[in-house]
């Protein structure tokens, strides 16, 4: 059996079900999964309802209904099959659509997961889309949603664009359908539809351009020297997507010159980006990266249904609500990032860590950890802990690292899964990004244990002498 056989089997299992419940994750990828699957399912005339959870764990399992519906777990489930067993779900009742590392379970639940087939850079929304397309080849309008999910889960980051089936099938389908535009060798930066050009330039620190990255005034002066118009006559700032090709070319070559002068490489200056020509210009729905931030703003602030409504085309109330949430999300993330940098992290041999207490919700600390990493010692994985409001006895842990460190043998998923199990908690995720819940009383020992496991991983890969 290959991956496409699993996709076919899943499409059949869904089509045969009289009624379906989708249980999905609250981040951009999870919300995209839900919007893709629920539309594909309802288009077949099958009754479907959706439940969003911030993570599948004993606290949230009661949200999964006990009824006769087929439970489709999307962007979660692979690592939590023991919870299905404990709940007494049979193989027939469950379908897992995921891209997370699977945990062993004595009952073999049906799973469509791209990871065991070596497709490491495809998210669960990608898998959901392949199932939707298998159900009906007319579902290619949903490819755009899958691109948002993939980009939201950072699948385009390391290779500066999507690769593998996410690129060859999903992006191509989106382009053929007409609601996706591929921009090859675009500037690798964030905020191209909504942020003033100089701010977009400052957001990028990979590659780090001295005097421009993290430096708004420096970036403004840089554009001024190049003779680039930065504001309209009314004082409105231009955004990257509306300046001319010639202006883009001038900016990119000047950035390249600056990198070369500093002895840096220019390859990461460029990225393939995905634009959505059917969306209103200068809104965050115009490209995959900013669209994903809108979804994260909804989901991580407990309103995933609003993100889902936007993915289905609601540009009225849902979109206005999302705009407010986006503003709040951005402000809190900025604040969290400042808090991490100002407070500083404690360094152990193989990791750096910080406890943010109850200041920030457990749903966003992982995003902050990922963003802070490039401003800290990027050679050591970062571990952030925070309180869980629903349960004072629990602590949420989020870890992030980068591709270079993963290449040196680090697997955060394995480390957190193993360490949290020893303290009666649970965790999982990916090599590069993982999370866990642990008992509050175990915090100190837990960090030391994770540090030791990471040391063993470095040593096993022969990269202890970083």
Give, in order, the Cα–Cα distances in Å from 406 to each of 121, 247, 412, 457: 14, 37, 9, 10
CB of 357 to ligand C5P, least distance (A): 17
Chain positions contacting ligand C5P, by CB under 6 A: 25, 27, 29, 55, 57, 75, 79, 100, 153-154, 366-367, 370, 398, 400, 426-430, 432-437
CB of 55 to ligand C5P, least distance (A): 5
CB of 25 to ligand C5P, least distance (A): 6
CB of 34 to ligand C5P, least distance (A): 13
CB of 295 to ligand C5P, least distance (A): 11
Rounded to an integer, what is the distance from CA 118 to the centroid of its chain?
Answer: 19
Which stretches does DSSP call E strand in 88-161?
A: 94-98, 110-113
d(CA 99, CA 36): 16
Residue 73 or residue 319: which is nearer to ligand C5P going by CB? 73
Residue 165 or residue 426: which is nearer to ligand C5P going by CB? 426
30 token code pair: 């999870």
Q: Are 38 and 129 in contact (CB under 8 A)?
A: no
Residue 195 or residue 430: which is nearer to ligand C5P going by CB? 430
CB of 32 to ligand C5P, least distance (A): 10
Residue 29 or residue 387: which is nearer to ligand C5P going by CB? 29
Short-list 464, 345, 452, CA closest to 408 = 464
Query: What does the DSSP 8-state code read for residue 49?
Result: E
Instruction: Give 98's strand partners.
Output: 113
314 token code pair: 């609601």
Residue 29 or residue 241: which is nearer to ligand C5P going by CB? 29
d(CA 401, CA 383): 9
CB of 384 to ligand C5P, least distance (A): 8
Going 66 to 104 to 25 to 278, the CA torsion angle's sign is negative
d(CA 415, CA 8): 34
Q: Are 207 and 200 in contact (CB under 8 A)?
A: no
Which stretches does DSSP call E strand in 194-351?
A: 270-275, 346-347
397 token code pair: 């842990």
4 token code pair: 């496409």
Ramachandran region, residue 235 (left: φ > 0; alpha: ψ -120 to 50; beta: rest): left
d(CA 120, CA 432): 11
Residue 75 or residue 173: which is nearer to ligand C5P going by CB? 75
CB of 396 to ligand C5P, least distance (A): 7
CB of 367 to ligand C5P, least distance (A): 6
- Phi/psi for 183 (5° steps) reads -110, 105
Residue 140 or residue 417: which is nearer to ligand C5P going by CB? 417
Residue 187 or residue 333: which is nearer to ligand C5P going by CB? 333
Residue 11 or residue 419: which is nearer to ligand C5P going by CB? 419
| Cα atoms in the 13 Å half-sphere on the side-chain side of 440 | 11
């Amino acid at each position: 059996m290959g991956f496409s056989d699993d996709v076919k089997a899943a499409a059949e299992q869904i089509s045969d079900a009289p009624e379906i419940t989708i249980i999905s994750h609250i981040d951009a990828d999870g919300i995209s999964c839900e919007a893709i699957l629920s539309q594909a399912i309802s288009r077949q005339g099958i009754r479907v309802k959706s439940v969003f959870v911030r993570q599948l764990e004993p606290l949230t399992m009661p949200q999964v209904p006990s009824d006769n519906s087929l439970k489709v777990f999307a962007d979660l489930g692979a690592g939590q099959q023991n919870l299905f067993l404990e709940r007494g779900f049979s193989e027939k009742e469950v379908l897992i659509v995921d891209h997370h590392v699977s945990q062993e379970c004595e009952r073999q639940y049906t799973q469509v997961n791209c990871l065991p087939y070596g497709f490491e850079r495809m998210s669960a929304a990608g898998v959901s889309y392949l199932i939707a397309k298998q159900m009906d080849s007319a579902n290619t309008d949903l490819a755009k949603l899958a691109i948002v999910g993939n980009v939201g889960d950072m699948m385009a980051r390391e290779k500066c664009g999507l690769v593998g089936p996410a690129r060859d099938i999903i992006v191509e389908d989106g382009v053929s359908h007409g609601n996706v535009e591929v921009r090859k060798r675009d500037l690798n930066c964030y905020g191209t539809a909504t942020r003033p050009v100089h701010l977009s330039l400052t957001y990028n620190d990979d590659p780090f351009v001295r005097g421009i990255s993290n430096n708004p005034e420096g970036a403004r002066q840089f554009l001024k020297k190049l003779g680039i118009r930065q504001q309209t006559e009314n004082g409105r700032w231009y955004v990257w997507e509306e300046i001319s090709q010639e202006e883009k070319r001038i900016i990119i070559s000047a950035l390249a010159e600056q990198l070369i002068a500093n002895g840096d490489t220019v390859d990461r200056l460029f990225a393939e980006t995905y634009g959505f020509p059917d969306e209103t210009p200068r809104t965050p729905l115009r490209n995959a990266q900013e669209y994903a931030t809108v979804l994260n703003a909804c989901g991580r602030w407990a309103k995933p249904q609003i993100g889902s409504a936007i993915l289905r085309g609601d540009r009225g109330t849902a979109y206005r609500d999302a705009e407010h949430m986006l503003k709040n999300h951005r402000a809190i993330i900025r604040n969290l990032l400042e808090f991490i940098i100002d407070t500083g992290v404690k360094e152990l041999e193989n990791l750096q860590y910080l406890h943010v207490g109850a200041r920030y919700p457990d749903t966003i600390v992982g995003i902050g950890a990922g963003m802070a990493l490039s401003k800290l010692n990027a050679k050591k994985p970062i571990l952030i802990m925070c309180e869980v409001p629903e349960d004072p006895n629990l602590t949420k842990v989020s870890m992030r690292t980068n591709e270079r460190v993963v290449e040196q043998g680090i697997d955060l998923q394995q480390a957190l899964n193993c360490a949290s199990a020893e303290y009666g908690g649970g965790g999982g995720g990916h090599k590069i990004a993982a999370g866990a819940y642990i008992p509050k009383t175990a915090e100190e020992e837990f960090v030391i244990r994770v540090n030791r496991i990471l040391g063993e991983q470095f040593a096993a890969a022969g990269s202890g002498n970083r």
